[in-house]
Chains A and B, each alone.
Chain A
Amino acid sequence: MRRPPYPTVLKPYGTALLELARADERIVCLSGDLTRQCEVDLFRDELPDRFVNVGMAEANMIGIAGALARAGHVPFVHTFGVFATRRPFDQIVNAVAYPNLPVRIVGFMPGVSSPGGPSHQAVEDVALMRALPNMTVVDAADATEIRQVVPAILDHPGPVYLRLKRGEIPVIFDDGYEFSLSRAQRLHGGRDAVIIANGMMLPAAVVAADVLADAGIDCGLLHVPVVKPLDAATVVDAAAGARAVVTAENHTVVGGLGSAVAEALAEAGSGARLRRVGLRDTFAEGALTAHHLFQTYDLTTQSIIDAVWTALGPGGPTPVAPTSPAAVGEYSPV
Chain B
Amino acid sequence: MKKNQMTAKHTLSAHNGPDAAFQIVVVAVAVLSFIMVVYPMYFIVIASFSDSTLVNQGQVILLPKGVSLYGYQHIFDNAQIWTGYKNTIFYSVVGTALNMAVTLPAAYVLSRKAFRPRRIIMALFVFTMYFNGGMVPTYMLVKNLGLLNTPWILIVMGALNVFNLIITRTFFENSIPEDLYEAATLDGCSHFRYFSTIVLPLSKAVIAVIMLYYLVGHWNDFFNPLLYINKDSLQPLQIILRNILLSNQAMAGSSGGGASGYAQQFADQIKFGVIIVSTLPVLCVYPFIQKYFEKGVMIGAVKG
The answer to whether A binds B is no
Interface residues of B (CB under 8 A from A): none
